[in-house]
Amino acid sequence: MKKAFPIFALLTAVLLSYALYLALVWAPTEQTMGDVQRIFYYHVPSAWTAFLLFLINFVASVWYLVWRSVKADIIALVSAEVGVVFCTVVLVTGPIWARPVWGIWWTWDMRLTLTLVLWLIYVAYLVLRRFSSGTQTPLMAAVLAVFGALDVPLVYFSIWYFRTQHPSPVIGKGGSLDPRMWHVLLINWLAFLCFAFLVSWSRYRLEKTKREVEEMLALEALLEPKGLR
Protein backbone atom coordinates (compact mmCIF):
# COMPACT_ATOMS: atom_id res chain seq x y z
CA MET A 1 0.00 0.00 0.00
CA LYS A 2 2.90 2.38 0.82
CA LYS A 3 4.18 2.22 -2.79
CA ALA A 4 0.69 2.47 -4.32
CA PHE A 5 -0.28 5.46 -2.14
CA PRO A 6 1.39 8.26 -4.23
CA ILE A 7 0.00 6.79 -7.48
CA PHE A 8 -3.49 6.53 -6.00
CA ALA A 9 -3.17 10.09 -4.61
CA LEU A 10 -2.22 11.38 -8.07
CA LEU A 11 -5.12 9.51 -9.73
CA THR A 12 -7.51 10.92 -7.11
CA ALA A 13 -6.25 14.47 -7.78
CA VAL A 14 -6.82 13.96 -11.53
CA LEU A 15 -10.28 12.51 -10.90
CA LEU A 16 -11.23 15.40 -8.56
CA SER A 17 -10.10 17.94 -11.18
CA TYR A 18 -12.07 16.14 -13.91
CA ALA A 19 -15.14 15.96 -11.64
CA LEU A 20 -14.82 19.69 -10.92
CA TYR A 21 -14.65 20.44 -14.67
CA LEU A 22 -17.76 18.31 -15.28
CA ALA A 23 -19.67 20.00 -12.46
CA LEU A 24 -18.79 23.58 -13.37
CA VAL A 25 -18.58 23.41 -17.18
CA TRP A 26 -19.90 20.20 -18.76
CA ALA A 27 -23.10 19.61 -16.78
CA PRO A 28 -26.22 21.24 -18.28
CA THR A 29 -27.58 24.32 -16.50
CA GLU A 30 -30.77 23.63 -14.59
CA GLN A 31 -33.66 25.70 -15.99
CA THR A 32 -35.29 26.95 -12.76
CA MET A 33 -32.34 27.50 -10.43
CA GLY A 34 -29.59 28.27 -12.94
CA ASP A 35 -25.92 27.82 -12.04
CA VAL A 36 -26.49 27.67 -8.29
CA GLN A 37 -27.93 24.15 -8.82
CA ARG A 38 -24.34 22.99 -9.50
CA ILE A 39 -23.75 23.07 -5.72
CA PHE A 40 -25.71 19.80 -5.83
CA TYR A 41 -22.63 18.04 -7.35
CA TYR A 42 -20.66 18.71 -4.16
CA HIS A 43 -23.50 18.68 -1.62
CA VAL A 44 -25.05 15.29 -2.47
CA PRO A 45 -21.81 13.25 -2.93
CA SER A 46 -20.53 14.70 0.36
CA ALA A 47 -23.74 13.56 2.09
CA TRP A 48 -23.52 10.05 0.59
CA THR A 49 -19.84 9.79 1.58
CA ALA A 50 -20.65 10.92 5.14
CA PHE A 51 -23.44 8.30 5.38
CA LEU A 52 -21.08 5.60 4.14
CA LEU A 53 -18.41 6.59 6.68
CA PHE A 54 -20.97 6.58 9.51
CA LEU A 55 -22.09 3.13 8.35
CA ILE A 56 -18.45 1.95 8.50
CA ASN A 57 -18.24 3.50 11.99
CA PHE A 58 -21.34 1.52 13.01
CA VAL A 59 -19.98 -1.79 11.64
CA ALA A 60 -16.56 -1.21 13.25
CA SER A 61 -18.21 -0.32 16.58
CA VAL A 62 -20.27 -3.52 16.57
CA TRP A 63 -17.09 -5.41 15.60
CA TYR A 64 -15.33 -3.80 18.59
CA LEU A 65 -18.19 -4.61 20.98
CA VAL A 66 -18.13 -8.27 19.94
CA TRP A 67 -14.38 -8.94 19.50
CA ARG A 68 -12.66 -6.02 21.37
CA SER A 69 -10.45 -5.56 18.32
CA VAL A 70 -8.01 -2.60 18.42
CA LYS A 71 -8.13 -2.44 14.62
CA ALA A 72 -11.93 -2.07 14.73
CA ASP A 73 -11.58 0.68 17.34
CA ILE A 74 -9.18 2.63 15.11
CA ILE A 75 -11.42 2.17 12.03
CA ALA A 76 -14.42 3.41 14.05
CA LEU A 77 -12.54 6.50 15.22
CA VAL A 78 -11.16 7.34 11.76
CA SER A 79 -14.47 6.83 9.93
CA ALA A 80 -16.30 9.05 12.45
CA GLU A 81 -13.69 11.79 12.14
CA VAL A 82 -13.64 11.84 8.32
CA GLY A 83 -17.46 11.42 8.31
CA VAL A 84 -17.81 14.57 10.44
CA VAL A 85 -15.66 16.49 7.93
CA PHE A 86 -17.93 15.44 5.04
CA CYS A 87 -21.06 16.12 7.11
CA THR A 88 -19.69 19.63 7.83
CA VAL A 89 -19.40 20.17 4.07
CA VAL A 90 -23.07 19.13 3.73
CA LEU A 91 -24.16 21.54 6.47
CA VAL A 92 -22.18 24.42 4.94
CA THR A 93 -23.02 23.93 1.24
CA GLY A 94 -26.74 23.34 1.98
CA PRO A 95 -27.42 26.84 3.38
CA ILE A 96 -25.26 28.44 0.63
CA TRP A 97 -27.59 26.78 -1.92
CA ALA A 98 -30.74 27.57 0.12
CA ARG A 99 -30.13 31.33 0.38
CA PRO A 100 -30.62 32.17 -3.34
CA VAL A 101 -33.18 29.39 -3.95
CA TRP A 102 -35.40 29.54 -0.83
CA GLY A 103 -34.50 33.07 0.25
CA ILE A 104 -33.34 31.84 3.68
CA TRP A 105 -30.13 30.27 4.96
CA TRP A 106 -31.76 27.72 7.25
CA THR A 107 -35.14 26.34 8.30
CA TRP A 108 -35.89 23.89 11.10
CA ASP A 109 -37.44 21.29 8.83
CA MET A 110 -37.04 17.56 9.43
CA ARG A 111 -34.20 16.79 6.97
CA LEU A 112 -32.06 19.77 7.97
CA THR A 113 -32.61 19.37 11.71
CA LEU A 114 -31.89 15.62 11.66
CA THR A 115 -28.68 16.25 9.68
CA LEU A 116 -27.58 18.80 12.28
CA VAL A 117 -28.41 16.29 15.05
CA LEU A 118 -26.37 13.64 13.20
CA TRP A 119 -23.38 16.01 13.03
CA LEU A 120 -23.75 16.83 16.75
CA ILE A 121 -23.89 13.12 17.69
CA TYR A 122 -20.61 12.38 15.90
CA VAL A 123 -18.95 15.55 17.20
CA ALA A 124 -19.95 14.35 20.72
CA TYR A 125 -18.44 10.96 19.84
CA LEU A 126 -15.14 12.63 18.85
CA VAL A 127 -15.15 14.84 21.97
CA LEU A 128 -15.64 11.72 24.10
CA ARG A 129 -12.70 10.01 22.37
CA ARG A 130 -10.50 13.11 22.63
CA PHE A 131 -11.05 14.04 26.29
CA SER A 132 -11.80 10.73 28.02
CA SER A 133 -8.67 8.75 28.81
CA GLY A 134 -10.03 5.72 30.72
CA THR A 135 -9.72 2.14 29.49
CA GLN A 136 -13.51 2.05 29.03
CA THR A 137 -13.48 4.92 26.51
CA PRO A 138 -13.51 2.75 23.35
CA LEU A 139 -16.39 0.73 24.83
CA MET A 140 -18.46 3.83 25.67
CA ALA A 141 -17.67 5.32 22.26
CA ALA A 142 -18.76 2.11 20.51
CA VAL A 143 -22.09 2.11 22.37
CA LEU A 144 -22.63 5.80 21.50
CA ALA A 145 -21.79 5.05 17.85
CA VAL A 146 -24.36 2.23 17.68
CA PHE A 147 -27.11 4.55 18.97
CA GLY A 148 -25.85 7.45 16.85
CA ALA A 149 -26.06 5.37 13.67
CA LEU A 150 -29.84 5.15 14.16
CA ASP A 151 -30.03 8.76 12.97
CA VAL A 152 -28.52 7.94 9.54
CA PRO A 153 -31.61 6.15 8.10
CA LEU A 154 -33.83 8.81 9.73
CA VAL A 155 -31.94 11.53 7.84
CA TYR A 156 -31.96 9.58 4.59
CA PHE A 157 -35.65 8.64 4.59
CA SER A 158 -36.96 11.86 6.16
CA ILE A 159 -37.74 13.36 2.73
CA TRP A 160 -39.97 10.40 1.92
CA TYR A 161 -41.85 10.11 5.19
CA PHE A 162 -42.12 13.72 6.41
CA ARG A 163 -43.32 16.91 4.78
CA THR A 164 -40.09 18.88 4.35
CA GLN A 165 -38.84 21.90 2.46
CA HIS A 166 -35.82 19.93 1.24
CA PRO A 167 -35.99 18.97 -2.49
CA SER A 168 -37.54 15.60 -3.37
CA PRO A 169 -35.24 12.61 -3.96
CA VAL A 170 -33.49 12.49 -7.33
CA ILE A 171 -32.86 8.75 -7.10
CA GLY A 172 -35.19 5.87 -6.36
CA LYS A 173 -38.94 6.44 -6.49
CA GLY A 174 -39.88 9.93 -7.71
CA GLY A 175 -36.43 10.73 -9.13
CA SER A 176 -36.21 12.39 -12.54
CA LEU A 177 -32.63 13.51 -13.04
CA ASP A 178 -31.19 14.32 -16.48
CA PRO A 179 -28.81 11.46 -17.54
CA ARG A 180 -25.92 13.96 -17.99
CA MET A 181 -26.51 15.27 -14.47
CA TRP A 182 -26.52 11.67 -13.21
CA HIS A 183 -23.16 11.11 -14.91
CA VAL A 184 -21.63 14.21 -13.28
CA LEU A 185 -23.11 13.31 -9.89
CA LEU A 186 -21.67 9.77 -9.99
CA ILE A 187 -18.20 10.92 -11.17
CA ASN A 188 -18.12 13.47 -8.34
CA TRP A 189 -19.16 10.82 -5.83
CA LEU A 190 -16.46 8.46 -7.09
CA ALA A 191 -13.88 11.26 -6.77
CA PHE A 192 -15.02 12.04 -3.21
CA LEU A 193 -14.97 8.34 -2.30
CA CYS A 194 -11.35 8.05 -3.50
CA PHE A 195 -10.45 11.21 -1.59
CA ALA A 196 -12.20 9.94 1.57
CA PHE A 197 -10.33 6.63 1.28
CA LEU A 198 -6.96 8.43 0.95
CA VAL A 199 -7.64 10.69 3.94
CA SER A 200 -8.96 7.78 6.03
CA TRP A 201 -5.96 5.61 5.17
CA SER A 202 -3.52 8.40 6.19
CA ARG A 203 -5.46 9.01 9.41
CA TYR A 204 -5.51 5.24 10.14
CA ARG A 205 -1.71 5.02 9.78
CA LEU A 206 -1.30 8.08 12.01
CA GLU A 207 -3.56 6.68 14.75
CA LYS A 208 -1.83 3.28 14.63
CA THR A 209 1.62 4.88 14.99
CA LYS A 210 0.35 7.18 17.76
CA ARG A 211 -0.86 4.18 19.78
CA GLU A 212 2.47 2.41 19.27
CA VAL A 213 4.33 5.48 20.57
CA GLU A 214 1.97 5.70 23.57
CA GLU A 215 2.62 2.03 24.34
CA MET A 216 6.37 2.60 24.20
CA LEU A 217 6.09 5.63 26.50
CA ALA A 218 3.93 3.67 28.95
CA LEU A 219 6.44 0.80 28.93
CA GLU A 220 9.28 3.25 29.52
CA ALA A 221 7.42 4.82 32.45
CA LEU A 222 6.88 1.36 33.96
CA LEU A 223 10.54 0.38 33.69
CA GLU A 224 12.10 3.69 34.79
CA PRO A 225 11.34 3.79 38.56
CA LYS A 226 12.72 0.30 39.13
CA GLY A 227 15.99 1.08 37.35
CA LEU A 228 15.43 -1.68 34.84
CA ARG A 229 16.54 0.34 31.80
Give the footprint of another protein on this chain (CB under 8 A). 20, 24, 35-36, 38-39, 42-43, 46, 82, 85, 88-89, 92-93, 96-97, 99-100, 195, 199, 202-203, 206, 209-210, 213, 216-217, 220
User: Which C-beta is closer to another protein: that of 64 or that of 97?
Assistant: 97
Q: Label residue 73 exposed, middle or buried (CB < 10 Å: 0-12, 13-18, 19+).
A: buried
User: Which C-beta is closer to another protein: that of 137 or that of 202?
Assistant: 202
Max CA pair span of the chain: 77
CB 215 → another protein: shortest distance, Å? Answer: 11
CB 164 → another protein: shortest distance, Å? Answer: 21
CB 105 → another protein: shortest distance, Å? Answer: 11
User: Which C-beta is closer to another protein: that of 127 or that of 216?
Assistant: 216
92/95 Cα distance (integer angstroms): 6
User: Which C-beta is closer to another protein: that of 9 or that of 139?
Assistant: 9
User: Which C-beta is closer to another protein: that of 52 or that of 82?
Assistant: 82
CB 89 → another protein: shortest distance, Å? Answer: 5
